[in-house]
Chain A
Amino acid sequence: MTLTSLSTDSLKADEASEQSALKSRRRTRPKRSSDDDSELSGKRGGSRVVVIIGLVLFAVYSIGPAWWLIVSSTKTKEDLYTTDAMWFANFSLFDNLTSLFTYQDGIFGTWMWNSTLYAFAGSIGHTVVSMAAGYGLAMYSFRGRGTTMGFIIGSFLIPGALLTIPSYLLFVQMGLYDTIWAMIIPAFFSPFAVYLAKIYAEGAVPSELLEAARIDGAGEYRIFFQISSRLMTTAGATIFLLHFVGSWNSFFGPMVFLRGDDKWPVMLGLYSWLQRGTDSTVDLTGLVITGSLVATIPMVILMVAMQRYWRSGVAMGSLK
């Protein structure tokens, strides 16, 4: 939580103070240590270069594959195999996009829409349910509260692999199998998100405020929707974002619970092309590459724009 408040607001101030501190240090140090420190500072200069080289290497390693994806998605199918892999050739990004969105009657557009729908609908329900439950657990004492918390903590230990097969059987029984609801409704209920919301509510919603609101005649539900939920916006945004990203990236779930390709999210669709691209006469490599780029861009924009929220999610996660 401290990370959240620190990261954007006081970063600039931090930097400024740090720089001035640095300047003053630079000014004072040579005077104080004239001869015996010179060897040390020389060593430090050397180790500084090593540090920067190390960071540059890591940066190249991190960004190289992303660079390759961007470059390759602008190439024609022929250039993909013949030209230098890390540099541009004939620019044909728009042709690639056209063939991506028109192949198989534009099924890629359907997949993108499905991913967006599952991510939005799932995340909204997920956030509302988790915030309400976390708030209830944090602010009220009632019978069964301890048991609920026990189940939530205990369920962290259940590996996903245990749930998949029985969930499949259950979804078939409930008529959820191979419908869009299989991707949306189960996403609402996450013990970890409830835990995050509870931890946050404990710190962000003062119980005196609730008492004051009650004295003023507000009902419990009204207090939640009009006052407390606003105090919990940061937690809500974090929970929303973490689930949105998780839903966009999900693969195993859709593979088990969806059959028809018109309901697939984009990740499963790309996988089906990757698989087909290797065992038939149609070469789908170009489409998979351009499709991967298109499917990644929304995530990168979202993550960069909402940095402070998932960073605070990291901080909250490490509390666990």
Chain B
Amino acid sequence: MSSTTQVRESRGGRTKGPARQSRTKGSTASPLLSWRSMQRIKGASFTWPFVIGFAVFTLLPVVVGLAQSLYTSKTSGLGFGAATVSFAGFDNFARGLADPVFWESMLRVSIYAVVIVPVTQVVSLLLALLIDAVQRRVANKFRLILLVPYMIPGIVATMIWIYLYSPVVGPLTPVLNFFGLDVNFFSGSMIWVSIGNLNVWGSIGFNMLILYGALQAVPREIFDAARVDGASEVRIALSIKVPYVQASLVLTGLLSIIGTLQIFSEPTLFRSISPETITKDFTPSMVIFNQAFQVGNLNYAAAQSIILAAVVGIASVIIYRLTNKVES
């Protein structure tokens, strides 16, 4: 503190004020240590609002969820009267692990994720390579157009595609009929293709942006060197550009797998059009929602949420390990 005061005095001409100086002197009276720790406390206090909110809205729910999953509540008789809550141990988990409806939905979504995430990646990569192959001026024009799907809210995008698929108002059915194809986009065999197309449409623009950014960072001299050596443009794309963006591919892939396993809103919207194809237990998130708010068994729903979270976690770890192994 003494050094601070000295500095202040040496530039006293510029800083105005005996008033301020007296304030500084007042604080010099307190020992050095407390001034530093005061600063620390003030620094820490910047994080307090977040820490409190984080504890209440993230950590507490995790604890509550774990606690809820260990109990069970039963209403006596016809559902009137107070429910009796009793400790059930791991009964809910045992039930969840053996629940065929829950695991069917998990299998359905896992297969979908395993197919659609790589497809989205490949299409996004193709798009990024295409846009990287043209001049910057042309690329900028296309880039904004290609980002239009990213700007459209997900729910609206789902509705648009539901109507496009619809045989009544949509243009796709007449066009396909013209080519002699009769496709029902809402049938059991087509529903995942329909949702998958919607997903690809919505996410390639954004993924392209990330990959394009990564491609721009590749030193251009490498391409010239490869061209001199007689490599074709396709060969350059596959052997130089793709390896360069692998890290970005892993990142976007990981994020979309985590998101896809929890898919809820798209199937829910499709369900309002074809409830016979998309059952109320179509995806794990829908099973949980149904269990919690239609059946009303919150304890069991909490246990199912934990199982889903565990599956998501294990899947991310496995993918992360695999991709790291491939890279090294």
Contacts and interface: CB of A to CB of B under 8 A. Distances in A.
Contact of B160 (A48, A194, A292): A292
Interface string A114-146: 000000000000000110110111011111110
Contacts of B214: 318
A168 B169 CA distance: 38
B302 A159 contact: no
Interface stretch (B58-66, B82-90, B93-101, B111-119): B58-66
Given A129-B50, A299-B153, A62 B284 contact: no
A209 interface: no
A267 B153 contact: yes
Given A133-B49, A189-B50, A304 B284 contact: no
- The range of chain A's interface size is 35 or more
B105 interface: no
Nearest to A131: B46
Interface stretch (A14-22, A88-96, A98-106): A14-22
Contacts of B54: 151-152, 155, 189, 191
A72 to B, nearest CB: 7
Contacts of A161: 262, 284-285, 288, 305, 308-309, 312
A188 B56 CA distance: 12
Interface in B222-252: 232-234, 248, 251
B163 A215 contact: no
B33 interface: no
Contacts of B59: 151
Contacts of A311: 209
B191 interface: no
Contacts of B135: 18, 22
B146 A58 contact: yes
A265 B67 CA distance: 32
Interface in B41-57: 41-47, 49-51, 53-54, 56-57
A156 to B, nearest CB: 10
B65 A159 contact: no
A118 B94 CA distance: 40
B188 interface: no
Interface string B284-298: 110011001100001
Interface of B: 4, 7-8, 15, 20, 23-24, 39-47, 49-51, 53-54, 56-65, 68, 126-127, 130-131, 133-138, 140, 142, 144-157, 159-164, 168-171, 174, 201, 204-206, 209-210, 213-214, 232-234, 248, 251, 258, 261-262, 264-265, 268-269, 272-273, 284-285, 288-289, 292-293, 298, 301-302, 305-306, 308-309, 312-313, 316
